[in-house]
Chains A and B, each alone.
Chain A
Amino acid sequence: MDKKTAVYICTGCGIGDALNVEQLLEEGTEEFTIDVSKDHPCLCGVEGVEVIKKDIADEGINTVIIGACSYRVNYDVFNFGPDVIVERVNLREQVAWVMPPEDENTQELAEDNLRMGCSKAKDTQLPEPFKAEEEYSKDVLVVGGGIAGMTAALETAKAGYKAILVEKEDKLGGFLGKMKQSVTMPYKELADTGAAEMIAAVEAEEKIKVYTSSTVEKISGGPGIFSVDIKNNGNAVNERAGAVVQATGWVPYDANKLDHLGYGKFKDVITNVEMEEMAAAGKITRPSDGSPVKNVLFIQCAGSRDPEHLPYCSSVCCLVSMKQATYVKEQDPEAVNYVLYKDVRTVGQAEDFYRKAQQDGNIFIRGAATEVGEAGGKLFVEADDELLGENVKIEDLDLVVLAVGMVPASKPAVTPRIKAPADAENADEEGMIEVLPDSGFFANSALNLAYRQGPELPTLKYGFPDSHFICFPYETRRTGIYSAGCVKRPMETAKALDDAAGAAMKAVQCSELTAVGKAVHPRSGDMTYPEFNMNRCTQCKRCTEECPFGAINEDEKANPLPNPTRCRRCGVCMGACPERIISFKNYSVGMIGNMIKSVNVPEEDEEKPRVICLICENDALPALDMAGIKRMKWSPYVRFVQMRCLGSMNLVWIADSLSRGIDGILLMGCRHGDDYQCHFVKGSELANTRLSKVSETLDRLALESERVKFVEVGITDYEKIPKIIDDFMETIEEVGPNPYKGW
C-alpha cells in the first residue's frame, strides 16, 4: 500500500496552551514523509473530524496520525473505516495535563511522542484477516450432559446455533438427575429439580445432537475448525465444531480420607451425596439397620476449608444440608436436626432458605467436631462449641451426615508424572517428575486435544480450569474452549444455569468472530495475527513453549506450526523468538525497535536523561491515563511505549536502547503469580523471566543492573505511578548517565 500520511494536532483540552504546536509539527515529523499536517482547536468535534475526512476523500490520505488525547478515548470518532490506518499520539494525558506548560522538557516529550507515532505509522500495514482453508463451523460442542452442559446446549440452540452434546453416562442429567429436590431461586421452599423437563427439552430440540455413553477421543484444529472424534457406544463418529464448552462437572471429596469424622468406621456416618441418593430413592433410614431416623447431625465443612483436605469453600454444602434437614423434618416433623458449622455460607438470596431452616426449628451449633463415636447403638458427636466456649456432646444420634465439598472433575486423584527434562531438579530415581496443574498434561481426560501443549485445559492450583474470576470468567487457556458449571468452580443450580448460558454465548461469539478472522477476548475484533518468516527459524521451540494458549503446534519437520484461529494475539511468541521472525501487521519487533530509535537522546552534557517505559496496554496504561486525568505530576524524561502485553517484550529492544544511550528501561506489567492479573495469563510472568537474561546484555555493555526495572501495576494503582517513575528516575540519577550516549 502506498502511504499518504497526514498529521493532525489537536490544540484543545489545554494541549495548545502547553505546547508550541508549530514547532512540534516541524520537529516531530522532520524525519518522515508527511503529506498533510494541520492543527485544529477541537479535533474530535464535528468540524475537526470533517477536516480529516475531507483530506481522506480529496487528498487520498490513508494513514492518519492524530496527536491529541489517549487512544482509549474517542476511538469511535477517529475511526475512518478499514482502509485507513490511524495512529494515535498522546499529547494530553501524558503531556499537557501532567507537565509544566511552555517548558522545554514538555515540548521535547511531545516531539518524541509524535516521532514515535510517525515511525509506527510508517511501519504499520493494514491487517489482512486470517482465513483458514477448511470450511468454518459455528456449531458448539458441549462436553458433559449435566445441568450446565444441557443448559449450554439449550442456550446455543436458542441463539440459533447447533449444539453437539456428549455425555459419558447412558443418560443425560448428571448430578441434577440424581437429586431428590433442589433449592434454587427464590430460595423459599424445596423445588422439583426440573431435570426431567430439561432432559426432555434437550431431546426435543432438533438443533441439539445428543451422544450419550460417549466420550471425546480427540479434538484437533482450532476455533472455527475443530474436528471432534467421538466414541459413541464403541462406534467412532466425527463432528466439526466452531467452539467448545467443557461442562464436565464435579465429584464429591473422597470421604474415605475423613476417618476422623467416623466415615468408614460407622455405617450411620454418610456423606451428603449418599444422603441425597437415599432421599431420592425413597426413605431416609439408618443404613446400619434400616430403622427410622429421629436425630440427625450434619457436620459442615467436612474436609472443606481445611488445608489438609479441600482448602476452599464449596459454597453449596451449607444450603444442601439445610435442604436435607428439610427432608428429615418432612418425613418426621418431630425429628431433630443439628447442624454443626464453621460459618453458615448461604450466599446471596439463599439466606432466605437459611431463615426457613431456622424457622423449622433446626438447631445450628457453631463449632468443630472433635470426636464422632458410638454408644449404645447410637452415634454421638463431641464438638467445641464456639459460642458457649465449651466442649459439648450431642448424643443419641441416628445419622451423621458429612457435608463434603466439590472437587472439579478435571482434577486427577493422583497427580500424573511425566519424564523429567534433563535439567530438572526434583526428578525421582526413574527420572520422572510430577506434572504441575499449570500444564495441559495435568487434568483428567475430557477433551483430548491434539495440542502440542497437552490434551486438557491447564488448571489452577486446585484443579479448576484456569480462568479469571473478574477479567475473563469463561475463557480458559485454550482459545474457543470455555468452561461452565462446577468444573470451573463450585456452584449451585441457579448459578450453574447462568454460568452455562454465559459460556454458550461466548462460544457462539467465538465462532462468529473467528469466521471473519477476528480475535476473541481480550483483543476481540483484532484482525492482525502473528506471521512467521519461517526461512530464518532455528526450531528453538520457544514460541511453541511460551504461547500461553497452546496456539502453536509442531509440524513433521519440527517447525513451529501456528494455528491462527487459536491465537489470542498477545504477541508473547513475538517477544520470545530470538530470531525476531514473528510479527503482526501493526506490531513487530522491528516496528517497536524503530519507535524507540526515533526517540531523541540528548548529549550527556545537557543533563537530560532518557528512560523508555515499556507499558502494558491492558492495566498499566489505563492506570497511567488515570494518573493523567487526575493531573498528577511525574518526570518529563520518560517515553512510554505501548505493549499488547508485556510478554511481547523482546530483549533486543532493551539491548538496542541501552546501546543508543537510553539511561534506563522501566517495564510496567500486570501482577503475575497465583493471583495473576495478566490478560494473557502468562505474559507478564514470561517477561519477568526473560528479564533475568538481560543481565548478560548489561554485563556485555558493562552497565549497571539497576538500569532495567520491572514493576507490577494494577489498573487501580494509578496513584502509585508518579512515585514509581520518580523513584526510578532517582536511581538513574544515582547510577549516572549512560556512557553510550552519542555513539
Chain B
Amino acid sequence: MENKMGYNASFAEEVFRNVDSGDEIKMCMNCGVCAASCPLREHMDYPPRQIFSLIRAGKREEVLGSQSIMLCTSCYTCVVKCPRSIPVMDVMHGLAHYALKKGYTPRIEAARFGKEFWNQVYRRGRVDERDLAQRAYFAGGFWEGVKKILEFADVGIKLVLHRRMKLIPEKKIKGISTLRKMLDKAEMLDKGRSVQ
C-alpha cells in the first residue's frame, strides 16, 4: 500500500476561501443526486459529487486539471435537484475559472467551443447552431472537421427537421451594440475581480 493518498485539508481551505461559491461545497452530503442528474455525466472524468469529495481529500491536481469543471453546460439540473440547495453549477464555474487563473488548460474542444460561443454571441447577439458546430468542428483542421460532420450528420438532419437548426445563417439581433456594451462591461468586471 505505497503511495496512499493522503487527506489534507489545505486544498479544501483554499477552495472554501478563494473559489467563487467554493465554500458552498462544505454543505455537500455526497448524496450523488447532482451526478445522477447531470446530462454530461458520461463525458465527465469526475461527476460533480466526486469533484467535491476530491476537494475534501485534498486532490488539487485532479480537481483543477479535470475536464468536468469545464464541461458544465449550465443546464441547472443539479442546482434544482440538490437536496442541500448547493448551487453546484456556480461551484463548477467557480472552479473552472479558478483553474484557468491558476494556469490549468482546459480540454481543448471545450475551450474552443466556449470561445466560439462567445464570439458568436458578441457578433450576432445569438448563436447560430449550424455555424457554431461547423466552426468548432473545423477548428482542429479540415480533415478532423469532415470526420466530425459525418459523425454528427444524423443529429444535424434531425435538428433541421425539427427546426432546431437553420441552414441559412442567423441574423444579427436588434440593438446588438447595447448587448456588446454589456458584454464588454462583464468582461471588464471579470478581469478586475480579485483572484489570487
Using a CB–CB distance below 8 Å, which chain A residues touch chain B?
336, 338, 344, 354-355, 358-361, 363-366, 382, 385, 387-388, 390-395
Contact = CB atoms under 8 A, between A and B. Distances in A.
B9 A336 contact: yes
27 contacts: A336-B9, A338-B9, A344-B29, A355-B27, A361-B13, A361-B16, A363-B7, A363-B9, A363-B56, A365-B56, A365-B57, A366-B30, A382-B1, A382-B4, A385-B53, A385-B57, A387-B30, A387-B50, A387-B53, A388-B50, A388-B53, A392-B5, A392-B57, A393-B5, A393-B6, A394-B7, A395-B7
Nearest to A381: B7
Contact of A359 (B1, B5, B26): B26
A364 B30 CA distance: 9
Contacts of A393: 4-7
Contacts of B50: 387-388
B27 A392 contact: no
B12 interface: yes
B110 interface: no
Contacts of B56: 363-365
Contacts of A360: 26
Nearest to A382: B4
B159 to A, nearest CB: 38
B6 A392 contact: yes
B54 interface: yes
A188 to B, nearest CB: 15
Given A336-B9, A391-B1, A393-B4, 9 more contacts: A344-B29, A355-B27, A358-B26, A359-B26, A360-B26, A366-B30, A388-B53, A392-B5, A392-B7
Nearest to B59: A388
Interface of chain A: mostly helix, strand, loop or mixed: strand
B5 A361 contact: no
Given A365-B56, A387-B50, A387-B53, A359 B6 contact: no
A394 B4 contact: no
Interface in B24-56: 26-30, 49-50, 53-54, 56
Contacts of B54: 388
A502 to B, nearest CB: 32
A394 B27 contact: no
A363 B58 CA distance: 11
A395 B6 contact: yes
A361 B15 CA distance: 11
A395 B5 CA distance: 10
A361 B55 CA distance: 12
Interface residues of B, number: 21
B182 to A, nearest CB: 35
Nearest to A338: B7
Nearest to A295: B9
Most buried by A among B5, B26, B30, B49: B26
A120 to B, nearest CB: 58
B196 to A, nearest CB: 19
Contacts of B13: 361
A25 to B, nearest CB: 65
Interface string B82-114: 001000000000000000000000000000000
A382 B49 CA distance: 22
Most buried by A among B6, B7, B16: B7
Contacts of A338: 7, 9
A338 B6 CA distance: 13
B90 to A, nearest CB: 17
A393 B1 CA distance: 10
Given A355-B27, A363-B56, A387-B50, A392 B4 contact: yes
A361 B57 contact: no
Nearest to B28: A358
Contacts of A359: 26-27
Contacts of B16: 361
Contacts of B29: 344, 354, 358, 364
Most buried by A among B5, B13, B28, B49: B5
Nearest to B56: A363
A542 to B, nearest CB: 56
B44 to A, nearest CB: 15
Most buried by B among A361, A366, A387, A390: A387
A392 B59 CA distance: 11
Nearest to B49: A387
10 residue pairs, one from A and one from B, having the closest CB atoms: A387-B53, A394-B7, A393-B4, A336-B9, A358-B26, A358-B27, A393-B6, A392-B5, A363-B56, A387-B30
Nearest to A380: B6
B47 to A, nearest CB: 11
A336 B16 CA distance: 14
Interface string B137-155: 0000000000000000000
Nearest to B46: A388
A360 B26 CA distance: 8
Contacts of B27: 355, 358-359
Given A388-B54, A392-B6, A393-B5, A361 B30 contact: no
A392 B29 CA distance: 19
A428 to B, nearest CB: 45
A365 B59 CA distance: 14
Nearest to B26: A358
A365 B84 CA distance: 17
A391 B4 contact: yes
B50 to A, nearest CB: 7
Nearest to A387: B53
A353 B5 CA distance: 30
A305 B142 CA distance: 62
Interface string B47-76: 001100110110000000000000000000
A361 B17 CA distance: 11
A344 B26 CA distance: 15
A390 B58 CA distance: 13
A581 to B, nearest CB: 63
Contact of A390 (B5, B9, B12, B26): B5
Nearest to B16: A361
A292 B12 CA distance: 23
B33 to A, nearest CB: 14
B54 to A, nearest CB: 7
Contacts of B26: 358-361
A390 to B, nearest CB: 6
Contacts of A394: 6-7
Nearest to B55: A363
Contacts of B1: 382, 391
